[in-house]
Amino acid sequence: METQQKLPARSSSDFSRGYSLLKRLSLFFGLALTGGVSDLWTKAVVFDWLGFPGESPRWWLLDGYVGVETAVNIGALFGMGAGFGLFFAFASILAGAGIFIWLFFFQGARSLWLTVAMGLVAGGIIGNLYDRLGLWYKPGMPAEWKSGVRDWILLAYGEYTWPNFNIADSLLVVGAIMLAWHSLTLKPPQEATLKAQKTDLST
């Protein structure tokens, strides 16, 4: 009677082929720094061009739909939490530290998808944190702007105008969508390992 040879169980590293800590670090910091610099550069360019809120009219790229308008958000998402800018700055620092620890100490960076998602989120944190810390603020500006975030992207449809946002906000949203997609569609490594083992034993 022929006996079936039991195959050795695969380790989780079998499902991370091509994984390199140095490469993941480079990808993460590359995305974070590129995103943060892009956000800060576009803010500087647009505010130099149109000035501070109320100094120039809206400039439409697509009339009535997509435009540029400077604004300063002294709250969080959609202006909520006005007056708590320093709290949001502190929360951003904690979030950034948590992302780094999760990726590179708890090995979340083994997933390329998660590394990209967290790199985008980190870029968004960098861009808005710079503003929250008041590093763009100059004497003579309204005091409430000191921990405010510069926004400039304008979307509208008919009578409705979406709250102004910036590149950093866009990075945060894209990163969050990627995380949600990952949690809903991708199988955890343990489940993938068990499935592979069952496939091997059945052949």
Element (H, E) at 61: strand 59-62
Catalytic entry in 14, 39, 63, 151:
151
Active site residue 39: no
Cβ distance 149 to 130 under 8 Å?
no
Burial class (CB in 10 A: 0-12, 13-18, 19+), 135: exposed
Cβ distance 55 to 140 under 8 Å?
no
Catalytic entry in 48, 63, 169, 200:
169
- In one-letter notation, the amino acid at residue 179 is L
How far apart CA 93 and CA 87 sit, in angstroms, is 10
Residue 164's SS3 state is: strand
Active site residue 48: no
- Active-site amino acid positions: 151, 169
